[in-house]
């Protein structure tokens, strides 16, 4: 009987031990199932501006084509490419000896017409000639004056003067050449104001206003950043290209490299400026019950904290965080559906974004 009781007690003890072991194993398996594998990302400062870049060449705002206003032989050329001219400087001279001879003859005709008019006017006052005779003398006088003025202009046009101050960028004639009326002789460029005139699609035109600052890069100076401002936006679309011209004034600084017309520039336009803002991958933002929040890793990297955040713009796979976190904190980026405040996690990797701006 005692043996039977002892066996009974032993069997009961064995059942209790097995039950406790199974319970502990079940608890361990339960804990394993509650640990969520996740990838993480770091909140960083990024440029989330609505920006685009277009290319165009640098041109001078003022450029004058200097042409001859009379035909003749070029006697002298006083400037060449690269030299600075002032408004009114004589850049070249054309042989005007024939015009001067004709002018002297026209002056003699004018003097004679003035004498005839004076005598006719005196006779008209005394009643010796009719008003028709006076009017004929007056017309002859006006014609003589007009001829003198025309020839005086021809003599004046023999000196080809600079219409603006600037740099001679082209000389297209030499002394001894015969030149015709309106034939181009020089190009004078005012280098004090350089502009860039890219064509912009109507889809990108919204948000651009006069006075807006833009970033400019030059292919010839890849390591130097320039800046400019939108000077004006042309009101009409170019019928050939279907684009709107936006004129950008290049801001000149004393220590910047020399910029010349013809350089290729790349202008970065930002219709909505959002530079250096705290941002996280868009996938890391969770929205539940109308609220948005992130899951931050605690110091032990084994549990998460649920943090409400205010989200701004979302662009290129990233979301701007206006309030809630600062840059540098580590947040959970994937496998967020089963997480809540205090959930256990296991970091298995770092989130990578491919195909978007850095």
Q: Is 242 exposed, middle or buried (0-12, 13-18, 19+ CB in 10 A)?
A: exposed
Residue 18 lies in a domain: no
Domain boundary among 272, 295, 328: 272
Residue 171 lies in a domain: no
Pair (204, 56) in one structural domain: yes
Return phi, psi of residue 96, to 5°.
-125, 25
Pair (261, 325) in one structural domain: no
User: Residue 107 belongs to a domain with what CATH number?
Assistant: 1.10.287.470
Rounded distance between C-alpha atoms, residue 107 and residue 155, angstroms: 14
CB-CB contact of 70 with 197 (8 Å): no
Predicted pLDDT of residue 19: 52
Predicted pLDDT of residue 16: 47
Give the β-pairing of 184-196 and 50-67: antiparallel
- Quote the pTM value: 0.61
Residue 162 lies in a domain: no
Predicted pLDDT of residue 297: 87
Predicted pLDDT of residue 8: 53
Predicted pLDDT of residue 276: 85
Pair (57, 204) in one structural domain: yes
Q: Closest Cα to residue 76, out of 170, 157, 176, 169?
A: 176
Q: Closest Cα to residue 247, out of 233, 260, 237?
A: 233
64, two tokens:
């004058």
Rounded distance between C-alpha atoms, residue 356 and residue 197, angstroms: 28
Pair (266, 193) in one structural domain: yes
Residue 233, C-beta contacts closer than 8 angstroms, at least 6 positions apart:
205, 208, 209, 210, 244, 245, 246, 247
User: Residue 288 belongs to a domain with what CATH number?
Assistant: 2.40.420.20
Predicted pLDDT of residue 290: 85
Residue 89 lies in a domain: no
Pair (57, 199) in one structural domain: yes
Domain with 334 in it? 35-47+276-350
Domain boundary among 217, 241, 272: 272
Pair (244, 225) in one structural domain: yes
Pair (242, 307) in one structural domain: no
Predicted pLDDT of residue 187: 96
pLDDT (tens, 9 = 90+) of the chain, 358 residues, equals 455 555 555 555 555 455 544 445 444 444 444 888 999 999 999 888 778 899 999 999 999 999 999 999 999 999 999 999 999 999 999 999 999 999 999 999 999 999 999 999 999 999 898 999 999 999 999 999 999 999 999 999 999 999 999 999 999 999 999 999 999 999 999 999 999 999 999 888 888 889 999 999 999 999 999 999 999 999 999 999 999 999 999 998 888 899 999 999 999 998 777 878 899 999 899 998 889 999 998 777 788 999 999 998 888 889 999 998 998 899 999 888 888 888 889 889 888 876 555 5
Residue 10 lies in a domain: no
Pair (42, 56) in one structural domain: no
Residue 182 lies in a domain: no
Pair (200, 57) in one structural domain: yes
Predicted pLDDT of residue 340: 87
Residue 220 lies in a domain: yes
Q: How far is CA 160 from CA 53, 102, 133, in A?
A: 43, 20, 43
| Number of folded domains that form the chain | 3
Domain boundary among 135, 156, 177: 156
Rounded distance between C-alpha atoms, residue 314 and residue 119, angstroms: 93
């Amino acid at each position: 009987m005692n043996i039977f009781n002892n066996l009974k007690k032993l069997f009961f003890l064995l059942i209790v031990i097995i039950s406790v072991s199974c319970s502990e194993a079940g608890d361990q398996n339960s804990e394993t199932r509650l640990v969520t594998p996740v990838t993480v990302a770091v909140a960083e400062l990024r440029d989330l501006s609505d920006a685009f870049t277009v290319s165009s060449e640098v041109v001078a705002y003022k450029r004058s084509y200097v042409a001859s206003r009379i035909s003749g032989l070029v006697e002298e050329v006083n400037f060449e490419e690269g030299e600075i001219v002032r408004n009114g400087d004589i850049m070249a001279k054309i042989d005007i000896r024939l015009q001067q001879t004709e002018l002297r003859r026209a002056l003699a005709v004018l003097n004679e017409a003035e004498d005839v008019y004076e005598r006719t006017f005196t006779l008209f006052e005394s009643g010796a000639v009719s008003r028709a005779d006076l009017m004929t003398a007056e017309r002859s006088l006006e014609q003589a004056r007009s001829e003198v003025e025309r020839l005086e202009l021809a003599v004046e046009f023999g000196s080809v003067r600079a219409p603006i101050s600037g740099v001679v960028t082209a000389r297209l004639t030499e002394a001894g050449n015969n030149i015709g009326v309106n034939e181009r002789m020089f190009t004078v460029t005012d280098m004090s104001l350089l502009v860039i005139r890219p064509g912009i699609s109507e889809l990108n035109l919204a948000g651009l206003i006069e006075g807006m600052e833009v970033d400019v890069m030059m292919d010839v100076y890849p390591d130097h950043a320039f800046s400019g401002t939108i000077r004006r936006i042309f009101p009409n679309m170019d019928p050939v290209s279907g684009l709107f011209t936006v004129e950008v004034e290049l801001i000149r600084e004393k220590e910047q490299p020399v910029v010349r017309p013809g350089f290729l520039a790349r202008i970065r336009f930002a219709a909505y400026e959002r530079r250096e803002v705290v941002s996280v991958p868009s996938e890391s933002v969770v929205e539940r019950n109308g609220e948005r929040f992130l899951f931050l890793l605690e110091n032990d990297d084994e549990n998460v904290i649920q943090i409400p955040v205010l989200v701004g713009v979302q662009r290129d796979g990233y979301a701007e965080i206006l309030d809630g976190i600062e840059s540098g904190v580590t947040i959970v980026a994937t496998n967020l559906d089963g997480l809540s405040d205090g959930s256990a996690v296991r970091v298995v990797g770092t989130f990578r974004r491919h195909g978007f701006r850095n």
